[in-house]
Amino acid sequence: MEIYWETRIIRGFSDLEYRGNFRTMKIKSVRGTHDLLPEATQLWQEIEAAARHNFGLYGYAELRTPIFEETELFARSIGAATDIVQKEMYTFADSKGKTFSLRPEGTASVVRAFIEHGLHHDGGIHRLYYIGPMFRHERPQKGRYRQFHQIGVEVLGSDHPALEAEVIEMLHRFFEHLEVEGLELLVNSVGCTNCRPAYIQLLREQLNTQASDWCSQCRQRAETNPLRVLDCKTPDCQPLIEKLPTIEEHLCEECRRHFSRFRNYLDLQQVPYRVDPRLVRGLDYYVRTTFEMVSDRLGPTQNAVVGGGRYDGLVEILGGPATRGFGFALGIERLVTVMGERPNKSQSVAPDLFLGFLDDASFEECIQLASHLRGEGIHAYLDFQGRSLKAQMRLANRLGSRFTCVVGEEEMTSGRFPLKRMEDGHLVTVTREEISVQVKS
């Protein structure tokens, strides 16, 4: 869509003085961001409503946090060595030199709010969800944008593997509700602070022995974040990745037991999955269970619709008491792509009743009538573009209005209004009060 903006030539923001030089400048949306036009927002509303409904059935409540936070929140929680913190955050300073970032993901903010408002004081399990935009300065491509939207879930206060399986079962119910098919659930364990360091060290050693064979990004990751090498999509690295040891063989007894119980609960709930020993998540705070839901409709690289896992240490990292956490984030744009073209099931925008008028006095009557009918829950419509009555009726047809009612002097004096059902031309004359009853019937 093109938007034209009339600008005057100005010198800096404060100089709005007209200098006699008009210019027409075309302003477009920022690269990697998108407008959602009304035909798209209907599906988005449906997706959001399905999330609210289904998550509500499992006791989840919505949390809304600001879209920007102190940069340190993300640096500390996501990890200073991650791509997100190193390269992808939109960071800015305010006039006092404080540094803020647009949120690149939701978990850090949820945990920050959880601690700030002392939600942990009751010692129970907290089930939270959020819906909103996230911002990452990535190279825009299909399925990867600079502003994108996530629906996320966080459950704080339990390390029970059955709760992890329940969260995943809830996701299944959500997808079923939206009739989404073809998603595959991949699960893995990334170990814990006891067993993972030794595995990472082993990876690092192996990567360093054949350093020249790996892509430059993997060589760098060998130093900063060796787990992420498993995630590399470069074709030349794939046979090398196959030869690397898997974390499965290096899990400690507790992690192994946790992972096995988690899988048993998935079986119990009849949720199909595949263990993918290469599945790691990009963020430092994940421990033990991780999972993704992928679709081959998204192509080979950006194929994950959902990503999530356990983050037991995060609340402590951010200054709160030891609290277990598990959650996921789902990308709405990718979900919409997976859903493809859908017949529009949402409520139609066609008016219930089109009010036609002949002159200024009946226009005023129609304004009042429309207001009264909207109060009764009726979608009433009238023309604001000075059309003739004939043109107003053409518009009523074009909009697909179910009823029309033409108001003139006679109707205003008698208080009786001709109501025409457009489908079959059936005409009844009714009082002001009877209009809504007729339209609703």
Q: Which residue has the tokens 């040891």?
A: 245
Nearest-angstrom CA–CA distance, 55 and 268: 20
Termini Cα distance of the chain = 40
SS3 270: coil
Q: Which of 305, 318, 353, 406 binds ligand AMP (CB under 6 A)?
A: 305
Give the binding range for ligand AMP (CB under 6 A) out of 161-169, 200-208, 303-311, 350-358.
Answer: 303-311
Cβ distance to ligand AMP smaller for residue 148 or 265: 148
Q: How far is the CB of 304 from ligand AMP (least distance, A)?
A: 4
Give the binding range for ligand AMP (CB under 6 A) out of 41-49, 145-153, 241-249, 381-389.
Answer: 145-153
Cβ distance to ligand AMP smaller for residue 109 or 150: 150
Please tell me whether residue 144 binds ligand AMP under the rule CB under 6 A.
Answer: yes
Cβ distance to ligand AMP smaller for residue 140 or 418: 140
Please tell me whether residue 396 binds ligand AMP under the rule CB under 6 A.
Answer: no
Residues 6+ apart with CB under 8 A from 325: 107, 111, 154, 155, 156, 310, 311, 312, 314, 315
Secondary structure letter of residue 80 according to DSSP:
T
Q: How far is the CB of 265 from ligand AMP (least distance, A)?
A: 22
Between helix 253-268 and helix 161-177 the angle, nearest 10°, is 40
Cβ distance to ligand AMP smaller for residue 89 or 355: 89
Q: How far is the CB of 306 from ligand AMP (least distance, A)?
A: 6
Q: How far is the CB of 152 from ligand AMP (least distance, A)?
A: 8
Nearest-angstrom CA–CA distance, 148 and 332: 8
Q: Which of 307, 325, 327, 356 binds ligand AMP (CB under 6 A)?
A: 307
Q: Which of 76, 112, 136, 288 binds ligand AMP (CB under 6 A)?
A: 136
**Which among 402, 423, 417 has a CA at the least distance from the CA of 368?**
417
Q: How far is the CB of 226 from ligand AMP (least distance, A)?
A: 19
What is the total count of residues that contact ligand AMP (CB under 6 A)?
16
Nearest-angstrom CA–CA distance, 147 and 34: 8
Secondary structure letter of residue 68 according to DSSP:
E
Nearest-angstrom CA–CA distance, 282 and 102: 19
Beta strand 304-310 with 325-331 is: antiparallel
Closest-CB residue for ligand AMP? 331
In contact, 271 and 299? CB cutoff 8 Å: no
Q: Which of 42, 150, 290, 401 binds ligand AMP (CB under 6 A)?
A: 150
Please tell me whether residue 89 binds ligand AMP under the rule CB under 6 A.
Answer: no
**Tokens representing 29?**
């949306």
Q: Which of 55, 60, 114, 145 binds ligand AMP (CB under 6 A)?
A: 145
Please tell me whether residue 138 binds ligand AMP under the rule CB under 6 A.
Answer: yes
What does 251-294 look like in DSSP terms, one character per residue? --HHHHHHHHHHHHHHHHTT---EE-TT---SSTT-EEEEEEEE
Helix or strand (DSSP H, E) at 24: strand 22-27
**Which among 238, 199, 201, 198 has a CA at the least distance from the CA of 218?**
238
Please tell me whether residue 154 binds ligand AMP under the rule CB under 6 A.
Answer: no
Q: Which of residues 317-356 bind ligand AMP (CB under 6 A)?
A: 329, 331, 333-334
Give the binding range for ligand AMP (CB under 6 A) out of 17-25, 93-101, 301-309, 387-395.
Answer: 301-309
Put residue 112 in one of left, alpha, beta given phi > 0 → left and psi -120 to 50 → alpha: alpha
Q: Which of 83, 105, 284, 365 binds ligand AMP (CB under 6 A)?
A: 105
Q: Which residues bind ligand AMP (CB under 6 A)?
A: 105, 136, 138, 143-145, 148, 150, 304-307, 329, 331, 333-334
